[in-house]
Chain A
């Protein structure tokens, strides 16, 4: 149980782009930090600790917690770095939450960032896999996702066209988000005609590489309500890791997300997530995940994910909009991506999501996903938690 209840009181993001030659890493980080401080009407002096993270090996800078202080404002403050692969951003959010919930820190600044344009993404991601077993055969991120998609399609008869419908949704939503990188609508035909990367994944089924940063300020219950009229209360967080080797994965289902979501629903007393959750910011790095993982979340029955997507229920205006921001398929500064999900969910709860606002959000979910099928999840609420 937390000692203190915790809320998000401010968020800030860069305008994410494929590359940012005009700024170095610290300067990019600073843009997001400055916006988050402005959003919360705080100054850097108000911040008690900084949590920062990015992907291992992406920029080749190992002590990011120290190196980044010019941009983060962490000079002479406690700073820690967290990095957990794809889930880095959501782990940052969970870590920041725990620092505030512990009672040790009142206001914590949480920063995720990435300059994907500075590295060889595939080479860096390959270092996540076991050097004696998987790494000698396997490279990059897309192939593992393709294996998941293949297994799911074989089991339930889903098609590439079903997946393309998810890309079309997210890219349409991204047009409402000035921070998203890819802000042009695409069609199902565009997706199916785009180059095949790893069967069945086409180019337009997957996320881009992005330079960007996101900052979130969390505060405890003693001051959150003074900082902002509508804080985004963190109701619960959960995290699941499961596998060492790729061959151990239960391909076609995301057990880690299923486990994390059940923990969260139990903590918050949620019985019917489809009815009780108002919006989801899903860390969905490729389109097939938009079908499969909503089944793991208990939103759609097993094998019925595609049907639920085609019904329009997850579009803006539907019963449970997913990724109003355009999600990961429209924008992916990896170390920031999970934290962007969290920030976007916070914006929805706080009523600050502007053109991408879903009406009357009481509960929002944000998630994180990482390489060998692990998951993070946060539940955000408008009401202060009862516990």
Chain B
């Protein structure tokens, strides 16, 4: 067998394919984002059967599989259910490390949302602490309309 790689580098073919995506939010998510953008309100949907309140809102209760869901406003404050402090800067990380990812169960909701925790002393941060949303000054209708959650002092 001739060693083809004795004198040349193994060839590599790089992708030139670009697949752009655009996802429809749908009526249910759109209603959430409009309330967030225009009124700084965080809305969930509550199931008439299991009485759970879902944030993000669901059109159909994933547990009861039924569509009788009522809109309810939940608090912009809640409890930190879990978190991690990301120390290593990765290319896919939108903010500068260290970054704190938190799972926040807002008062009035039965599920948690994922967001950043900022303005928190890394040694003090713990599960069960109270946090509050800091809304962005410029809001365009996305999860970034909440800039982050901060400890309630």
Contact = CB atoms under 8 A, between A and B. Distances in A.
Interface of A: 19-25, 27, 30, 43-44, 57, 59-60, 69-71, 73, 75, 115, 117-120, 123-124, 126-127, 131-132, 135-136
18 contacts: A19-B24, A24-B23, A24-B28, A27-B26, A27-B28, A27-B59, A44-B65, A59-B21, A70-B62, A75-B62, A117-B24, A118-B24, A119-B20, A119-B21, A120-B18, A123-B18, A127-B17, A136-B13
Given A44-B65, A73-B65, A23 B27 contact: yes
A23 B29 CA distance: 9
Contacts of B29: 24
A20 B13 CA distance: 37
B40 interface: no
B27 A69 contact: no
B6 interface: no
B21 A118 contact: yes
B63 interface: yes
Interface in B81-123: none
B interface, how many residues as a size bin? 20 to 34
A131 B14 CA distance: 8
Contacts, number: 66
Lowest 9 A-B CB distances belong to which pairs? A24-B26, A123-B19, A70-B62, A60-B21, A21-B24, A23-B26, A44-B65, A22-B27, A27-B59
Contact of A23 (B20, B24, B63): B24
A120 B20 CA distance: 6
Interface of B is mostly: loop
B60 interface: yes
Contact of B60 (A25, A27, A123): A27
A24 B17 contact: no
Contacts of A25: 23
Contacts of B35: none
B25 interface: yes
Nearest to B65: A44
Contacts of A123: 17-20
A60 B17 CA distance: 14
A60 B21 CA distance: 7
Nearest to A27: B59
A75 B111 CA distance: 15
Given A25-B23, A135-B17, 10 more contacts: A27-B59, A30-B59, A59-B23, A71-B60, A115-B24, A118-B24, A119-B20, A120-B18, A131-B15, A136-B13
A308 B45 CA distance: 56
Nearest to B25: A24
Residue among B13, B24, B25, B29 facing the most chain A CB atoms (10 A cut-off): B24
B58 interface: yes
B62 A132 contact: no
Contacts of B21: 59-60, 118-120
A373 B59 CA distance: 39
Interface in B28-42: 28-29
